[in-house]
Amino acid sequence: AQSVTQPDIHITVSEGASLELRCNYSYGATPYLFWYVQSPGQGLQLLLKYFSGDTLVQGIKGFEAEFKRSQSSFNLRKPSVHWSDAAEYFCAGGGNTGKLIFGQGTTLQVKP
């Protein structure tokens, strides 16, 4: 069955530190992959997406993600976290059906 897994439910990092949020997928073929961010009381906002081509994808707010087929992973990274990055992050996978499968989400807390 198709699935997207975010192993970390909650992560705390210090402001200015680097960040990596993990995402693993299980699909028959290479899925379309997305990272979304949700601030409290808000809807989900797209950070970046991967469809094909270059496996290192740049997104908004200084985020990037790398698609690694051998590891079935699409981890999100940021070199230096800001307090405003505190939010919930969702990884999602999809295909030609248009439907997305979302991970459980990772809540990021940023310490001053």
Q: Given the rule CB under 8 A, which residues bind another protein?
A: 32, 34, 36, 42-46, 49, 90, 94-100, 102, 104-105
Amino acid sitting at position 11: I
- Separation CA 39–CA 42 (nearest Å): 5
What is the smallest separation between the CB atom of 20 and another protein, expressed in angstroms? Answer: 21
What is the smallest separation between the CB atom of 43 and another protein, expressed in angstroms? Answer: 4
What is the smallest separation between the CB atom of 50 and another protein, expressed in angstroms? Answer: 11
- Separation CA 110–CA 95 (nearest Å): 33
Residue (34 or 81) nearer to another protein, CB: 34
- Separation CA 63–CA 60 (nearest Å): 6
Residue (82 or 99) nearer to another protein, CB: 99
8 A C-beta contact, residue 22 and residue 32 = no
What is the smallest separation between the CB atom of 98 and another protein, expressed in angstroms? Answer: 5
Residue (81 or 103) nearer to another protein, CB: 103
Residue (5 or 15) nearer to another protein, CB: 5
Residue 94's beta-bridge partner residues? 32, 100
Residue 71, Cβ neighbours under 10 Å: how many?
A: 10
